[in-house]
Structures are given as structure tokens and as C-alpha cells.
């Protein structure tokens, strides 16, 4: 195949280099298009635009493939912990035993949040949305760690701030939950692993090991997902050389939106709607098939995955474990299981590849753990943070990094007179 493509613009013909990815993706390099022709491209929503070169995550939506640094998500969930995957996406390789011990110790050291941040969290109304509090607490950390506000961090500073961020968000998330429940905050317990400590700070009790393992896997499944809205936001903000606290806070804000991280919350809201109607999910299956009916099944299908969401395949088994171990009796969970079983066996959904996605199962797990619906997106942020950090780190270390500055096509009024 030719390594360039020709573009004819009137009487002028230019050649555009073709960039090939290691997994077969192809892109036209238009970086010099405006300078050479005066033209720019128009791509609403940027769905056809490659905004960066990356080595972190690969997705094949048609085949249902998700890989981090070359490892399939199924392999990572089976063989690795969330902290190992966090180390992988950030540093490009799985840690050795000694590297994991050092990384874990640094996270534990960085898990105690400043008293001032606790005060900020507790100053919010108890019914304030957890994502707003979490975002505010994250950016507030910049006032307590001024040594990491330099425009260009040294390698040593990066090595310090990354585990600090992972430790701080874990404790912030638990503190936000406790505040919303009107309960005192609980200090980290360094004798527990990352996920068990998080659950301990939320509940005050050491969790069941199998339940902690299920949540650990769920965090892995959220670790990174290529150039999604929040990852792109972190890159855009970070490209101005804003500090990492501000960049991650911006990612939290982007994730807050119902079209992004709020999807698992929408699943529970849908289940509640079905319950209020009497709990007959079969009726809603038929409503979902009716093109004239505005009802949509939340948590089924995916914008990127045109086949089964590979993350859903992994978490489904752990979802069953959580429900079994906690012995939860909840009509919403019964409705969810009924929807899942019916949809998976219905030809209408199979033909259209509308299978349950990771948001469907994650919402069920969070509900079973007793986590309020408005905390679901905070849980998502906890899992996604290593991906945000990895995207930020890759960007600031790339040769020729530039501030992100898209163009536009102006279509407003001209030559107005006062």
C-alpha cells in the first residue's frame, strides 16, 4: 500500500502522509494541510480525528478487543491486580516484585489526605453531588503540594506525584461517601491492600476477600479506554502545562456528564423506573423494540464496541460472585437479572448486538455494595485515574508537544453596523 494519499483541491494536488498503527489502524497526516492549502477539516465530535499518537491502549470495537500495552483486558483481569495494571498503563511495563512493593508503599504513604482537604469536603452540604466535591478536593490538593506545580516536573517528581495521586483519590472518594452519609471520616489502614482499604474507609469494616477482588477487577476494567471524553479533556488541559491536580480534576468533571461516566447511574435509574411501573421488565423489553417508543434500555450496547463489550464478559462472573457472597435481596437487582437473561436470549438483541455492557454490571455491583447511585461516577473516576495519569504523562513527554488549539468554521453574521 502507498505510504501517501493524494488530495485534489481545485487545480492544486497535495500528498498526505499515511500513518500506520501497530494494530493496523491507518490515518492521514493533515498537520500541514492548512499551511499548504488554507483548508481545515470539519469533524463534528472528533469521531474521525486522531488527536495523538499513543502506546497505552488499543480498542477494536468491531471485534470486541481491549488491550493495555499489548496485554488483553481478559489476561490482565485474570493475572494482575489493579495496582499492577495502574503501574503498567503509566510506566509501560508490568512491575517486578520489588517495583510493585515500592509503588504500593508510596501509594500507602500518600493515602493520608491533608486536614485542609478534609475541611473542604466537610464544608459541602451533605446532599451535594459527590462528583462536585471530589473534583473540588482534587484541585484543592494543589495548595497543599506546591512542589508539584512546576511547569516541567523532573523524573523524580513524576515518580513521587503519581502514587500520591492514586493514594489521595482513594481516600478522598471514601471521605466524600462518608460525608454524604453524615458519618465521621476514617483514616487509611496500611495493613490492607488498595481496594480493601478503600472499602474499609467507606464502611469501617474489612470487606469479604472475594467482594474486594470483584471490585479490584472492576477498577481494572475502567483503568483506561483510549481517547474518550475525559482522557481527551485531561490531555487538553494538560497541554497548557496546567498542573496534574488541575488536569485530573478536569477529567473528573468530564466524566461527570451523563453521556460519559454517568451511564451506570442511568442503569439504576432505569431499573427504578421499571420497579415503579410494577417490576414487569418483559413489558420494557417490548418497549425497547418499538421504534416509536422513546424508552431505551440503558447499559446495553456501546458506542465503540459493535460486538460484545469485552469488559462485560469479565465482570459478569464477578457480578454473580458479589450477589452470592453478599446475599442481597433487592427488587432492582432481580429486575436487572431478568433483563439480562431475557435480552441475552432474545433474537432482536442478538441480531443487533445489543448486549449488556460494563456499565450494566458495574451499576449492579455498586448497588449490591450499598453505594448510593450518585457515587457511581466517583467509583468510575477511581478506576480511570491511572489512565488519565498515563495519558497526561505520555503527552507531556512526547516530542513536539503543543497546546491543543482546534480551529473552527465561522458561520455567524458579517459586516454588522451599529
User: Tens digit of pLDDT for each residue in 281-329?
Assistant: 889 999 989 989 999 888 888 878 877 788 988 988 888 888 888 887 7
pLDDT at 355: 83
CATH topology of domain 73-260+377-397: Citrate Synthase; domain 1 (1.10.580)
Task: Specify the CATH class of 263-368 in words.
Answer: mainly alpha
Backbone phi and psi for residue 71, each to the nearest 5 degrees, phi listed first:
-95, 135
State the catalytic residue, choosing from 68, 222, 225, 302. Answer: 302
pLDDT of 350 higher than 70: yes
pLDDT band of 1, cuts 50, 70, 90: low
DSSP 100-147: HHHHHHHHHHT-SPPHHHHHHHHHS-TTS-HHHHHHHHHHHGGGT-GG
Helices 358-368/263-276 angle, 10° precision: 70
| Least confident residue range of 192-201, 284-293, 351-360 | 351-360
Q: CA-based angle 262:267:270, to the nearest 5?
A: 120
* Active-site residue flag, 359: yes
pLDDT at 377: 94
179 CB contacts (<8 Å, ≥6 apart)?
Answer: 121, 122, 124, 126, 133, 185
Mean pLDDT of the chain: 92
pLDDT at 215: 95
| CATH assignment, 4-50 | 2.20.28
State the catalytic residue, choosing from 260, 359, 399, 415. Answer: 359
User: Tens digit of pLDDT for each residue in 104-160?
Assistant: 999 999 999 999 999 999 999 999 999 999 999 999 999 999 999 988 999 999 999
Instruction: In whole angstroms, give the CA distance from residue 402 to residue 248.
Output: 19
pLDDT at 248: 98
Contact (CB, 8 A) for 178 and 185? yes
pLDDT at 329: 76
User: Tens digit of pLDDT for each residue in 236-291?
Assistant: 999 999 999 999 999 999 999 988 888 778 888 898 899 999 888 889 999 989 98
pLDDT of 193 higher than 60: yes
pLDDT of 339 higher than 70: yes
* Active-site residue flag, 29: no
84 CB contacts (<8 Å, ≥6 apart)?
Answer: 94, 95, 100
Q: Where are the domains of the chain?
A: 4-50, 73-260+377-397, 263-368
Backbone phi and psi for residue 60, each to the nearest 5 degrees, phi listed first:
-120, 100
Amino acid at each position: 500500500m502507498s505510504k501517501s494519499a493524494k488530495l485534489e483541491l481545485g487545480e492544486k494536488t497535495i500528498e498526505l502522509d499515511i500513518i500506520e498503527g501497530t494494530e493496523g489502524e491507518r490515518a492521514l497526516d493533515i498537520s500541514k494541510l492548512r499551511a499548504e492549502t488554507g483548508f481545515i477539516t470539519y469533524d463534528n465530535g472528533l469521531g474521525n480525528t486522531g488527536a495523538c499518537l499513543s502506546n497505552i491502549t488499543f480498542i477494536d470495537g468491531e471485534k470486541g478487543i481491549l488491550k493495555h500495552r499489548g496485554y488483553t483486558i481478559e489476561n490482565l483481569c485474570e493475572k494482575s491486580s489493579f495496582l499492577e495494571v495502574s503501574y503498567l498503563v503509566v510506566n509501560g511495563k508490568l512491575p517486578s516484585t520489588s517495583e510493585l512493593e515500592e509503588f504500593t508503599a508510596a501509594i500507602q504513604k500518600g493515602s493520608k489526605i491533608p486536614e485542609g482537604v478534609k475541611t473542604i469536603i466537610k464544608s459541602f452540604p451533605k446532599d451535594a453531588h459527590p462528583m462536585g466535591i471530589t473534583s473540588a478536593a482534587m484541585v484543592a490538593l494543589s495548595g497543599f503540594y506546591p512542589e508539584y506545580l512546576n511547569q516541567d516536573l523532573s523524573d523524580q517528581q513524576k515518580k513521587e506525584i503519581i502514587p500520591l495521586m492514586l493514594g489521595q483519590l482513594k481516600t478522598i472518594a471514601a471521605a466524600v461517601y462518608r460525608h454524604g452519609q453524615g458519618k465521621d471520616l476514617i483514616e487509611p489502614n496500611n495493613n490492607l491492600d488498595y481496594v480493601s482499604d478503600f472499602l474499609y474507609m467507606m464502611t469501617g469494616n474489612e470487606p469479604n476477600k472475594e467482594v474486594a477482588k470483584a471490585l479490584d477487577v472492576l477498577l481494572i476494567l475502567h483503568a483506561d479506554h483510549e481517547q474518550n471524553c475525559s482522557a481527551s479533556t485531561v490531555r487538553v488541559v494538560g497541554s497548557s502545562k496546567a498542573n496534574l491536580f488541575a488536569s485530573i480534576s478536569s477529567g473528573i468533571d468530564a466524566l461527570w456528564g451523563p453521556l460519559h461516566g454517568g451511564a451506570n447511574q442511568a442503569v439504576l435509574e432505569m431499573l427504578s423506573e421499571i420497579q415503579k411501573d410494577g417490576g414487569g421488565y418483559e413489558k420494557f423489553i417490548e418497549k425497547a423494540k418499538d421504534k416509536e417508543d422513546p424508552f431505551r434500555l440503558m447499559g446495553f450496547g456501546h458506542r465503540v464496541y459493535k460486538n460484545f463489550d469485552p469488559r462485560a464478559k469479565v465482570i459478569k462472573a464477578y457480578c454473580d460472585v458479589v450477589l452470592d457472597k453478599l446475599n442481597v435481596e433487592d427488587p432492582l437487582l432481580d429486575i436487572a437479572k431478568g433483563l439480562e437473561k431475557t435480552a441475552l436470549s432474545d433474537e432482536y438483541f442478538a441480531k443487533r448486538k445489543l448486549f449488556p455492557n460494563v456499565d450494566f454490571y458495574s451499576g449492579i455491583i455498586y448497588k449490591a455494595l450499598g453505594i448510593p447511585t450518585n457515587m457511581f461516577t466517583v467509583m468510575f473516576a477511581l478506576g480511570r485515574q491511572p489512565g488519565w495519569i498515563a495519558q497526561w504523562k505520555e503527552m507531556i513527554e512526547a516530542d513536539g508537544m503543543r497546546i491543543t488549539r482546534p480551529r473552527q468554521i465561522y458561520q455567524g453574521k458579517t459586516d454588522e453596523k451599529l
